[in-house]
Amino acid sequence: MLKAKSSPTGPRLKAVGHPPAKRRRGAVRPRVSGAEREALILAEAVQFFAEVGFAGDTRELARRAHVTHPLLYKYFGSKEALIERVYEAVYLGRWNPDWERLICDRSLSVRERMTRFYLEFAGVILEREWVRLFMFFGLRGADINERWFAVIRERLVMPFCGELRLELGLPTVAEVPPAMAELELVQGISSRIFAFGIREHIYGMPLPEGVDVTKLIVAEIDLFFDGIATTLRRLTHPPAASRGKTEGLVAGTRARRVAR
């Protein structure tokens, strides 16, 4: 804007305006506590390793997390320690204790309990991060996946085996310990549901549009219950002749393996 100003030679014009703006500096990030910074790095690590696998460079992870490489190792002493925290956060941290109470809620039939459980559990194990990390854990070695399966067997498989036997009037798991076939049948439901996540997040082949995964999960539970009663009775009370034949087949298979 121009403003008139008196002078001995007559009025002259002087530019008048806003004071010059101060030089803008880079935006200052809000300060966060050490615990918050650690949580931010861990959240970024979950996404990073789910994307590139555990061979991913921690320098690139530090860049994505907007921290220096030394600072990353200040919070996580080693890459192995960071990977362990990823496992704890994604697998143990997303397990809902209410599920264990649901499994043992005898006001509902076992079929109802199993259906409710797997519909909720699927919301966790079919997430992209969960699926991809599980596959990458398996590729780097069996240790962490074995630990996870041990958790599943303790908190999910064994309780469901006990509840199924009680409802069917079969011997308790204390009286007749579950055979491997029984454990695998119950645990196999998780595997078949998990296959939907592998199809989408590993193979890049999501279910066709309009296919409701909820209905597929319910169908898996129905398929299981349509045949489990007869199968469990056979597993817990095998006929003597059948038992002898099975033992003979197993012994023969072992002998052939040794011969090789």
27-72: per-residue pLDDT in tens? Answer: 445 677 989 999 999 999 999 999 999 999 999 999 999 999 999 9
Comparing CA positions, the residue from 201, 102, 96, 198 lying closest to residue 151 is 96
Output the CA–CA distances (angstroms, integers) from residue 93 to 83, 120, 197, in the order listed. 14, 15, 19
Alpha-carbon distance 164 to 169, whole Å?
9
What is the H or E stretch that residue 97 is in? helix 97-103
Instruction: For residue 103, count other CB atoms closer than 10 A to its CB.
Output: 20
Instruction: For residue 49, count other CB atoms closer than 10 A to its CB.
Output: 22
Which pLDDT band, with edges at 50, 70 and 90, does 15 fall under? very low
Asked if 33 contacts 25 with a C-beta cutoff of 8 angstroms, the reply is no
Max Cα-Cα span within the chain: 128
Instruction: For residue 65, count other CB atoms closer than 10 A to its CB.
Output: 21
Comparing CA positions, the residue from 42, 32, 28, 31 lying closest to residue 72 is 42
Alpha-carbon distance 27 to 43, whole Å?
23
List CB contacts of 86: < 8 A, sequence separation 6 or more.
42, 45, 46, 49, 133
Average pLDDT over residues 164-169: 95
Lowest mean pLDDT among 80-84, 202-206, 234-238: 234-238
Residues 81-93 have pLDDT tens digits of 999 999 999 999 9
Query: pTM of this prediction?
Result: 0.75
Instruction: For residue 1, count other CB atoms closer than 10 A to its CB.
Output: 7
